[in-house]
Amino acid sequence: MNKVKPHPNYPPEEGRYLRGNDASPAAVVIILNHDEDKIPPEIEALVREGVEGGAALAGTLQTPNVGFEKVICNIVANPNIRYLVLSGPESEGHLTGEAIKSLFKNGVDEKKNIIGSKALHPILYNISHEFIERFREQLTLVDLQFKGSPQLIKKAVWSCYQEEPTEFEGYQLYDPGAFDAPALDGNLMSRVAESWTLPQNEKEMSAVEKMQAMVARIKEKQARS
């Protein structure tokens, strides 16, 4: 089974997550619907079980824009990750879980709005279309939202490790090995979340994406020197 080393900058973005086995095929995202300083023990337990059960990354996510963009940046930097295990409640108002499912199902439009999502500002403005599409191609979503427990999270991650397809909650899970493309490296270029500040047409969006690509090339060149 083919495994590769993540990008040297992996994981490029900081956040509320734990790092586990870099060769793992699974990452765990637990939706958070509390303030950062009031995270309940049951949510913390799901995160711990994810990484202790063998996940590459396990953490919480509250917003369907900047927070989600950070998750995408971290995952595409490690081609070994092939599954996103989603669990926890819904984030009221944000509808983050709904936005994740809509991204996998529908993708984004030319302005990087998640198609079909009813979430609050489901816009992936701060990352490129390349990162978004890689995330969708590299990963399979394992939807355990609203029914997650520490034991179920552990079983989900275990199932992702299997050499042969293994039935789990209606999914056939196994480790297919690393995604057949190099790791992508990049941080968020900004932290814009307000929709009224976004580019308003394709020309403006194209200019922003060219700037982002230029910055990424400069960073890659610096990393090699």
- Does the residue 137 lie in any domain? yes
In a domain, 9, yes or no: no
The secondary structure of residue 146, as a DSSP letter, is T
**Is position 31 within any domain?**
yes
Query: What's the predicted TM-score (pTM) here?
Result: 0.83
Q: Which of 65, 69, 74 is nearest to 94 (CA)?
A: 65
pLDDT above 60 for 135? yes
| Structure letter (DSSP) for residue 5 | P
| pLDDT of 33 | 84
Q: Is residue 97 part of a domain?
A: yes
pLDDT at 148 over 80: no
In this structure, how many other beta carbons lie within 10 angstroms of the beta carbon of residue 201?
9
pLDDT at residue 203 tops 60: no
Range of the domain at 24: 17-224
Q: Report which of 26, 92, 101 is spatially closest to residue 63, judged by C-alpha positions.
A: 92
pLDDT exceeds 70 at position 197: no
* Residue pointed to by tokens 């499912």: 101
The predicted-structure confidence for 38-96, as pLDDT tens digits, reads as follows: 788 889 999 999 999 999 999 999 988 899 999 999 999 999 999 999 999 998 888 99
Domain count, the chain: 1
SS3 assignment for 51-73:
HHCCCCEEEEECCCCHHHHHHHH
Position 11 in a domain: no
pLDDT bucket at 212, cuts 50 / 70 / 90? low
Give the containing element (helix H, strand E) for 184: none
Supply the pLDDT for residue 58.
Answer: 97
Give the pLDDT of residue 186.
85
pLDDT for residue 188: 85
> Minimum mean pLDDT among 20-24, 93-97, 164-168: which range?
93-97
Chain center to CA of 205: 23
52 occurs within a structural domain? yes
Which of the two residues, 214 and 65, has the higher pLDDT score? 65
Mean pLDDT in residue range 87-112:
94
Q: What is the pLDDT of residue 200?
A: 47
